[in-house]
């Protein structure tokens, strides 16, 4: 017994996303995604990096599954690239794309690793983008058809599904601030995209239930606690707006059947209240919430800033990761408790959590020492354990990420893996953090004590 034992049956895993690890995005008849286009457009990504090769997981999945086994992972969270399945986004299915995921899933099962699939981790088929993408209301049925095809093929082998990964980031960074694909900067688009993401999510859940599938379906959201910089009413209101923007914008409609009223304050006349029957569809029950947590922020009211009228206050006294993200594990416990108190006793999986550090490009004597990543892992796993002790219904944890990979607009400069990838040779090396995590899994948390 240790003070850090996790509940029996707690699921330990690691996560990746298709465009970030697979490489060969156009192989075997796949169509281009918005990320393929975005990364190939000069000026959009650090160093002009693209996902063309990434960690070559498309060809190395078998040895990567062997690595998962060596680490003792009990589950692998991956995403399916929609344009590998539907090169034009809808209509014709590309069997070679289906076969790739089918082989991966079979191999996971043969190794007793639970497959956990995400249907949308940001790689929208470019052909659908040309029809308006997330701005076109028809995307709900395009997504529903894609989801349905995946449940039909893999539903009996994949027991855990997420419809979308981080819809708030898709909307905000994809359509409002433009740092991620498709790189738009339009608050009016943001309001439409939010609603269409939720409508698509709902069609995915509906398709799953319609097939009488027996696994679990949920959604993975990014949660970033927002703390007010002072007790002033203005700063408190700023924190409340930011909290609604990043944390309740998607969960309130799903669990409470309504949008947080702060959205009206943020979107102003861009906000069009949705119809009741749509909210009803959006709020149909799901089986779990996936929480992606990395950092928190402290905000204050700033009348000079556009749209939100908010500034982030740097917490210079606290440590930050290579992403410049403050390390503040207590916020992780807080936000998990918040989900539990606001939305009830819904099972929660931490679907992503991890940190980037400047590991060397090549392993040194076959080893990568990453004590800071271990520290982050320890403090955040303890934060998760705290939340469990305080009654949060937490069922599992996925480290982000299994492999060093393509960190979107940051390219390959930011390394999040518990397994190092030498991009020159594609050689994998389990980092010290990977070995550490392996022991945590083997002892169900006890070794944290």
Rg (alpha carbons) of the chain, rounded to whole number: 21
The residue range among 108-116, 163-171, 265-273, 312-320 that interacts with ligand FCB, by the rule CB under 6 A, is 163-171
Q: Closest separation between CB of residue 166 and ligand FCB, Å? A: 5
> Of 10, 271, 416, 436, which one interacts with ligand FCB (CB under 6 A)?
416
Residue 6 DSSP symbol: P
Sign of dihedral through CA atoms 59, 86, 212, 136?
positive
Question: Interface with ligand FCB includes 17 (CB under 6 A)?
Answer: yes
Q: Closest separation between CB of residue 376 and ligand FCB, Å? A: 12
Among 22, 166, 189, 407, which one carries the catalytic annotation?
166
Tokens of 371: 């004590």
> Of 45, 292, 372, 429, which one interacts with ligand FCB (CB under 6 A)?
292
Q: Which residue is nearest to ligand FCB (CB)?
A: 17
> Of 50, 222, 295, 353, which one interacts with ligand FCB (CB under 6 A)?
222
Question: Interface with ligand FCB includes 169 (CB under 6 A)?
Answer: yes
The backbone region for 54, taken as left when phi is positive above 0, alpha when psi lies in -120 to 50, beta otherwise, is: left
Report DSSP letters for 267-329, one per residue.
HGGG--PPPHHHHHHHTS--SEEEEE----EEEEE-TTSSTT-EEEPP-TTS-B-TTS-B--H
Question: Interface with ligand FCB includes 408 (CB under 6 A)?
Answer: yes
Question: Interface with ligand FCB includes 166 (CB under 6 A)?
Answer: yes
Q: Which of 106, 209, 124, 73 is nearest to 98 (CA)?
A: 106
Residue 125 DSSP symbol: B
d(CA 87, CA 292): 29
For residue 66, the tally of other CB atoms under 10 A from its CB is: 14
Known catalytic residue: 166?
A: yes
The residue range among 111-119, 155-163, 164-172, 424-432 that interacts with ligand FCB, by the rule CB under 6 A, is 164-172
Question: Interface with ligand FCB includes 359 (CB under 6 A)?
Answer: no
Site string for ligand FCB, 326-355 (x = CB under 6 A): --------------------------x---
Known catalytic residue: 262?
A: no
User: What is the tally of helices (H) and strands (E) in the chain?
Assistant: 16, 13
Residue 176 DSSP symbol: I
Q: Which of residues 63-122 bind ligand FCB (CB under 6 A)?
A: none
Question: Interface with ligand FCB includes 357 (CB under 6 A)?
Answer: no
Question: Interface with ligand FCB includes 400 (CB under 6 A)?
Answer: yes
List all residues 6 or more positions away from 294 whose beta carbon is below 8 Å from its beta carbon.
Answer: 222, 224, 323, 325, 352, 353, 354, 355
> Of 33, 407, 433, 438, which one interacts with ligand FCB (CB under 6 A)?
407
Give catalytic residues, as residue numbers: 166, 352
Give the residues lining the site for ligand FCB (CB under 6 A). Answer: 17, 20, 165-166, 169, 222, 292, 352, 400, 407-408, 416
């Amino acid at each position: 017994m240790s003070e850090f034992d996790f509940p029996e049956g707690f699921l330990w895993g690691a996560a990746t996303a298709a465009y970030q690890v697979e490489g060969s995005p156009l192989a075997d008849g796949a169509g281009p995604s918005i990320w393929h286009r975005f990364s190939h457009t000069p000026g959009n990504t650090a160093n002009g990096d693209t996902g063309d090769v990434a960690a070559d997981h498309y060809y190395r999945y078998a040895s990567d599954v062997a690595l998962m086994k060596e680490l003792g992972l009990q589950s692998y969270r991956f995403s399916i690239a929609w344009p590998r399945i539907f090169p034009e986004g809808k209509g014709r299915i590309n069997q070679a794309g289906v076969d790739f995921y089918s082989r991966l899933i079979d191999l996971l099962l043969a190794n007793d690793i639970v497959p956990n699939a995400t249907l949308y981790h940001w790689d929208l088929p470019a052909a659908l983008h040309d029809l308006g993408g997330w701005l076109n209301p028809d995307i709900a049925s395009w997504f529903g058809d894609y989801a349905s095809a995946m449940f039909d093929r893999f539903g009996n082998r994949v027991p855990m599904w997420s419809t979308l990964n981080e819809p708030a980031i898709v909307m905000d960074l994809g359509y409002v601030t433009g740092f991620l694909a498709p790189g738009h900067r339009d608050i009016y688009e943001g309001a439409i995209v939010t609603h269409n993401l939720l409508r698509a999510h709902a069609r995915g859940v509906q398709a799953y239930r319609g097939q009488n599938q027996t696994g679990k379906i949920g959604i993975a959201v990014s949660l970033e606690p927002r703390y007010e910089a002072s007790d002033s009413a203005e700063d408190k209101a700023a924190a409340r707006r930011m909290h609604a923007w990043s944390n309740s914008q998607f969960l309130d409609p799903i669990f409470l059947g309504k949008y947080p009223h702060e959205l009206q304050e943020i979107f102003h006349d861009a906000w069009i209240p949705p119809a009741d029957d749509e909210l009803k569809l959006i709020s149909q029950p799901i089986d779990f919430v996936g929480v992606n947590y990395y950092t928190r922020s402290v905000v204050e009211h700033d009348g000079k800033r556009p749209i939100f009228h908010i500034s982030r206050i740097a917490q210079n006294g606290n440590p930050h990761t290579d992403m410049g993200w403050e390390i503040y594990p207590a916020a992780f416990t807080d936000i998990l408790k918040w989900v539990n108190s606001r939305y009830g006793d819904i099972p929660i999986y931490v679907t992503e959590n991890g940190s980037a550090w400047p590991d060397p490009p090549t392993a040194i004597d076959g080893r990568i020492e990453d004590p800071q990543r271990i520290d982050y892992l320890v403090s955040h796993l303890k934060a998760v354990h705290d939340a469990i002790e305080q009654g949060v219904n937490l069922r599992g944890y996925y480290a982000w990420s299994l492999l060093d990979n393509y960190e979107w607009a940051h390219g390959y400069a930011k390394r999040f893996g518990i397994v190092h990838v030498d991009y020159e040779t594609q050689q994998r090396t389990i980092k010290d953090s990977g070995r550490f995590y392996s022991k945590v899994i083997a002892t169900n948390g006890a070794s944290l004590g």
